[in-house]
Chains A and B, each alone.
Chain A
Amino acid sequence: MNNATQQNSKGVSVQVRGLRRSFGGQEVLKGIDLEVRPGEIFVLMGPSGSGKSVLLKHVIGLETPDAGEILINGESILADGVMDKHRMALVFQSGALLNSLTVGENVGLYLSEHNLNTPEEIARIVSEKLEVVGLKGTEDKSPGDLSGGMKKRVAIARALVIEPQLILYDEPTSELDPVSAVVIGREIRDLNRRIGVTSLVVSHDRDLAFGIAHRIAVINEGNIIAIGAPDEIKRSHHPVIQNFLNADFNLE
């Protein structure tokens, strides 16, 4: 999925056309159409179980659609060599760090497994990327010693090593306290500004979505019900969107 040659990052576009996917007879994605422009932060928002993470897995090629297609810079990801041509990274909801490796080995895994650099260069790059996410000096720690927020930041550092043109974030602020969530949100925005990477963020965190997104799509029961700038989404009269945006703990 990633080109072995490291280059400066420049965002790619993502187009999803008529994407359908069923699991055990239940249709989870019911013909999704959307476009993510190069270099933008696009947040896919919706309630739990609406198909957000499944869509993300299709974009990076971990799942195969029943129908429809996904295009990266206009080329189908199913075509030969397309996934190798573009550098993409997925930051998993849990971080998905390899527990048998140290933080440093996790971050440098892509480089070491593809023999792209010498061990000294890998150590330098790892230290550099960990510094970017504010975790310098944690190379020798085990993932088990890190908090949820730190794991997510390490996962972002691991994604940065690839120098991606597209970063996919799966629920980056779930299970985090509000301060850590803001830190992660800032990381996503800063990376986008600094390296121009296209960011596709899946989240049900309203604050994150309206805080970092250039555009937002709302997905509900496998369908996209609205796409637009954050202000346009806020102004939407769609009952599901209003319900989602205005839900609170007022039980009276």
Chain B
Amino acid sequence: MFQNIGEMFLLFLRSVKALPLAWRQRKKVFEQLFEIGNASLLMVCVLSFFLGGVLALQTGPMLVERGLTNYVSGLVGNSLARELAPIMMSILIAGRIGSSMAAEIGSMRVYQEIDALRTMNIDPVHYLVMPRVIAIGIALPMLVTFSILVGWLGGAVVAAATAQIDIPFRSFFSTLHELVEVGDVAHGVFKSFCFALIIGTVSCHQGLVTRGGPRGIGRSVTKAVVNSIVLIVIFDYVLTRVLLD
């Protein structure tokens, strides 16, 4: 386990070191960005809308009953911005994109395409890993920002449509504007950037260390997703602690 963590850390450092070559690999970065956005946008939209809605539904009646109507939007807004949107979207992307990265690089490893790159003096970290880490590092914070906005919309719709809550749409957003600060959104977006680096590095590493045939690829994909989620949850606590302090 510690060897894996060490290898992943070194892979991340090598990707960072390769950043000056990013412009040359811009085509691959754009391809990955399109892949991540195209594959995830609809899912992010649906998931976030209902996440915001269910949050309003769970907390709204309780707060309204105790005369805390103004806090419904604050609670929905802050929970989504600081915690739920970053962690839920990161888990979604780990499953959807991390698995695909591990499978693609893993099959390249098994079918000797990575060896072929090495024989042409093309560094797989520059060619395969760095563009993916950059793309996910850009895409995930953007998806999380979008998710926060859609989640707020879902919360507002449910708050307006549910009789026990009954907060008008405009009123929901005006109190949200008072209670949620730009810093709260920045907090969530920053965390999602860190999670993106974790997903990119873990998934590419699992792909690169794939051994065996199709079964090996399957194992790498599972490990990439599980390890990414475990690290995301651990780092979520650490980052929240640091950012709150």
Question: Are the C-beta atoms of A96 and B121 separated by less than 8 Å?
Answer: no
Question: Are the C-beta atoms of A92 and B121 separated by less than 8 Å?
Answer: no
Question: Are the C-beta atoms of A96 and B122 separated by less than 8 Å?
Answer: no
With contact pairs A113-B127, A115-B24 given, residues A92 and B112 touching in the complex (Cβ less than 8 Å): yes
A88 within 8 A of B: yes
A109 within 8 A of B: yes
Q: Find residues 1-45 in chain A having any chain B CB closer than 8 Å to their own CB.
A: 1-2
Measured as residues with beta carbon below 8 angstroms from the partner, the interface class of chain B is 10 to 19
Kindly identify which residue among B24, B104, B112, B127 contacts A96, using a CB–CB cutoff of 8 Å. Answer: B112
The majority secondary structure among interface residues of chain A is loop
B108 within 8 A of A: yes
Can you list, as one digit per residue, whether each of B112-129 has a CB less than 8 Å from chain A (1) or not (0)? 110111111110000100
With contact pairs A113-B127, A115-B24 given, residues A1 and B111 touching in the complex (Cβ less than 8 Å): no
Question: Are the C-beta atoms of B120 and A96 separated by less than 8 Å?
Answer: no
**Smallest CB gap from A93: residue in B:** B112
Question: Are the C-beta atoms of A109 and B122 separated by less than 8 Å?
Answer: yes
Query: Closest CB-CB distance, A9 to chain B, in whole Å?
Result: 16
A162 to B112, CA, bound (A): 19
A57 surroundings in chain B (CB, below 8 A): 115
A194 within 8 A of B: no
A99 within 8 A of B: yes
Kindly identify which residue among B117, B118, B120, B127 contacts A162, using a CB–CB cutoff of 8 Å. Answer: B120
Question: Are the C-beta atoms of A99 and B113 separated by less than 8 Å?
Answer: yes
With contact pairs A113-B127, A115-B24 given, residues A62 and B111 touching in the complex (Cβ less than 8 Å): no
B24 surroundings in chain A (CB, below 8 A): 115
A17 to B6, CA, bound (A): 35
**Smallest CB gap from B115: residue in A:** A62
A109 to B117, CA, bound (A): 9
Question: Are the C-beta atoms of B122 and A92 separated by less than 8 Å?
Answer: no
Query: Closest CB-CB distance, A17 to chain B, in whole Å?
Result: 22
**Smallest CB gap from A155: residue in B:** B116
A90 to B121, CA, bound (A): 12
A109 surroundings in chain B (CB, below 8 A): 120, 122
Query: Closest CB-CB distance, A116 to chain B, in whole Å?
Result: 11
B112 surroundings in chain A (CB, below 8 A): 92, 94, 96
Question: Are the C-beta atoms of B119 and A62 separated by less than 8 Å?
Answer: yes
A89 surroundings in chain B (CB, below 8 A): 119-120
Query: Closest CB-CB distance, B107 to chain A, in whole Å?
Result: 8
A1 surroundings in chain B (CB, below 8 A): 118-121
A84 surroundings in chain B (CB, below 8 A): 121
**Smallest CB gap from A115: residue in B:** B24
With contact pairs A92-B116, A96-B116, A98-B116 given, residues A113 and B111 touching in the complex (Cβ less than 8 Å): no
A-B contact pairs, 13 of them (CB 8 A): A2-B120, A2-B121, A61-B118, A62-B119, A89-B120, A97-B113, A98-B113, A98-B116, A99-B111, A99-B113, A110-B122, A114-B122, A162-B120
- Other than A84-B121, A109-B120, A114-B122, give 12 A-B pairs with Cβ distance below 8 A: A1-B118, A60-B119, A62-B119, A92-B112, A92-B116, A94-B112, A96-B113, A97-B113, A110-B120, A113-B127, A114-B121, A162-B120
Closest 5 CB pairs of A and B: A96-B116, A96-B112, A110-B120, A90-B119, A1-B121
